[in-house]
Amino acid sequence: MNRILSILCVLLWTTFFLTACGKSAVEKKADFEQPQLDSGSNVISSCSSEEVTRAMVLTLSPDETVEICRKMAFTLGHAPSVRLLRELSMALSALKRAGAAKDTVSDARDIMRIVKARGQLASDDSMVATFNVVYKIVIGMQGRASLAELAEFLEALGPNAETKSDEGLMHDAAVISVMKKGY
């Protein structure tokens, strides 16, 4: 009985200690800065590691974030906004955690190819919406249609890819999946 009480006491103190400590300084800083970073169209001056660290998502390495920024800058023709870099980084991070991302940097390139094919490079909101739809497609299809295949499909459509709705994009991913099975 005394052993059970001592174990219970240790568990309670550990829980209290962990709860009292709260978040680390980095997490507190990220929580404070995130709304400010995501709200505006603050543009990153260059895709250097010093510039990119303020927009970095903690689950990706600094090198990955710099490479994602470079892929975005190549497609956009200029450095991305902090919001866009964070949104794409969060989508890629979620894909990585779900085991659906093979290579974060090439996945970033493929997502930007999808955005470009859909003619959405001028609108941050449209790009973010496409990031979200692409994430849902990859997770929902469980990898049966890759980002590269979807990008190639849309690029082959040419100007007609710009007329594709989100639902149409999901339908196309399903068609790619069925075509791969050989039905």
Q: Write out pLDDT tens, residues 37-75.
A: 555 567 788 888 888 887 777 888 889 999 999 999 999
Smallest CA-to-CA distance from 112 within 167, 151, 141 is with 151
d(CA 70, CA 85): 10
d(CA 134, CA 114): 9
State the pTM of this model.
Answer: 0.76
101 vs 80 pLDDT, higher one:
80
Residue 183 has pLDDT above 60, yes or no: no
Q: Cα 101 vs. chain centroid, distance in angstroms? A: 10
| pLDDT of the residue at 55 | 76
d(CA 95, CA 101): 5
pLDDT band at 182; cut points 50, 70, 90: low
23-44 confidence digits (pLDDT tens): 444 444 444 445 555 555 677 8
